[in-house]
Structure 1
Amino acid sequence: MFEKIILLCWAIWHSRNKRIFEGKHTEAVEIVAFADKYWKELHAATSVVLQPGVRSDRNSVRWEPPENDVVKINFDATCVRQPLDPTSAEAKAAVLAVHLARERNWTKVIIEGDSFVVISAIKGTSDSRAGYGNIIMDIQRISEDFEEFRVQHILREGNRVAHEVASLSKQGDYHLFDLPPLIHSVISLEMC
């Protein structure tokens, strides 16, 4: 119960900031509904991770290559340069991955990320009426164009390469096939 109260206080504070800095007014009923929905998403995400039997040795998490005729794209919010909340940034990174797959005419695609909330929303197992809901609906719409489309969750430790490559975007432009030695060493560690 205490966590719900804290979450509601955060939602009120967030709404207050939107009103002050963006001029957007939110009704009290909407704030409560947002906090309730957010609580349910948070509870769904954490209940899976905290279940008995879920792998607790996070260091043993490794990136797994896809089947031969499938392209896997790992996404990470670090590549998003817009000022967004973390979940919206993860959703934006996911839609960028889907757009890349479509632009490259890849027909069998897996997108993989470390945001359980975003992955669940794309799969349709959680409500996507949050601020990033339009991004999720865009991903779901585009996914129908692929012959095969899968979405997978991976723990952050297994998504390190995507995180490191994405963080390069903060340092400026880079060519995907001319990555710094740090990235090559991270990839080598992942493949061991």
Structure 2
Amino acid sequence: MGLLLEAPTTSFVDRLVWLAEKLNKDALSSFASLAWAAWFCRNKEVFGDVENINPSYVATGFMKLKMEYGEYNKVGSMVHPPQIPMRSTWSLPPTTFVKINVDAHVRHDVGVSFGMVIRDEGGNVVAAGVRRIASNWRPALAEAGAAQFGVEVARRMGFEKVMLESDSINVVQAIRQRQRGAAPIFLLFDDIIDMSSYFSSFQCSHVKRAGNTIAHNVARWDVMVGSENICTHSFPQSIQTLAGLDFL
């Protein structure tokens, strides 16, 4: 209790980050579980659904879920997933494929921008675009949002064989392994996986940031909140220059 009194009160995020530096992993996960239980009960109170709600039982249930997840995670950690190849430079997609490179730009107190660029088997840029939303997403969620945006545009444009590429290893791993979960980020992964079934062939790969420079640049294009800008011709000189550098 004393530690909580010392924690920042500016926001829950600030408090959680502060506690993460003070608590061990098990204690922090217990705090998060109890905070989740408190928020669950708060919502029940706000929306008038408090009948048969016992906060002590709710807290106990959430702590039980946390312990069960810990035991499951110990078993799961014994199985090592296949390693995902990591490239440092951009490379051409397979013949007859297009490659979608994606990146996100988190603009604090402004919103999040998703950038994507589509290139054909010859390395030619065939589309580039950005979408900006007002939400203040964390970086991991933003990277997943950029991947979802890129796949959505490729589907709208009617491409059949698609390779999605990101510099976020966690996003690539989640898509390749078709991971499922209850957190908000999994809604984006579910959408990507569902859309991938519309292509005749779909692949997902990882590249280091140095090989993702065009998408990184496009994610910083200026566009109004709640809108997107998709170019399919007359690309800015900066995009053409960066595309040419990939072959040097």
Q: TM-score, normalised by structure 1?
A: 0.68
Aligned residues: 171
- Describe how 1:10-49 pairs up with structure 2 within 5 A: 11=32, 19=39, 29=62, 33=66
Greater per-residue strand proportion: 2
SS where residue 91 of structure 1 aligns? Answer: helix
Give the equivalent residue in structure 1 for 2:243.
187
Where does structure 1 differ by over 6 angstroms across 4 or more consecutive aligned residues?
none
Q: Distance in 1 between matches of 2:190 and 2:203?
A: 15
Give the equivalent residue in structure 2 for 1:63.
90
- Describe how 1:12-161 pairs up with structure 2 within 5 A: 19=39, 29=62, 33=66, 61-78=88-105, 79=114, 80-81=132-133, 82-124=135-177, 126-161=179-214
Query: Following TM superposition, by how much is the alpha carbon of 1:32 offset from its aligned partner in structure 2, in angstroms?
Result: 7.4
Q: Distance in 1 between matches of 2:27 and 2:244?
A: 43
Q: CA RMSD in A?
A: 3.9
Q: Distance in 2 between matches of 1:121 and 1:61?
A: 20
Q: TM-score, normalised by structure 2?
A: 0.54
SS where residue 163 of structure 2 aligns? Answer: strand
Query: Following TM superposition, by how much is the alpha carbon of 1:131 offset from its aligned partner in structure 2, in angstroms?
Result: 1.6
Decide whether aligned partners of structure 1 residues 14 and 153 sit closer, same or farther in structure 2, where only a CA change above 3 A counts: farther
Gaps of 5+ in 1: none
Gaps of 5+ in 2: 1-22, 45-57, 106-113, 115-131
Per-residue CA deviation, residues 107-142 of structure 1 (Å, 9 max, x unaligned), is 100111111111111122644432211111111111
Q: Distance in 2 between matches of 1:75 and 1:182?
A: 17
Decide whether aligned partners of structure 1 residues 76 and 3 sit closer, same or farther in structure 2, where only a CA change above 3 A counts: farther
SS where residue 132 of structure 1 aligns? Answer: helix
SS where residue 168 of structure 1 aligns? Answer: coil
Q: Distance in 2 between matches of 1:14 and 1:65?
A: 47
Decide whether aligned partners of structure 1 residues 126 and 140 sit closer, same or farther in structure 2, where only a CA change above 3 A counts: closer
Report if aligned partners of 2:93, 2:99 keep a CA contact under 8 Å in 1. yes
Structure showing greater Rg:
2
Report if aligned partners of 1:168, 1:174 keep a CA contact under 8 Å in 2. no
Greater per-residue helix proportion: 1
Give the percent of matched residue pairs that are identical in Structure 1 and Structure 2: 28
Decide whether aligned partners of structure 1 residues 177 and 126 sit closer, same or farther in structure 2, where only a CA change above 3 A counts: same
Letter paired with 1:183: I
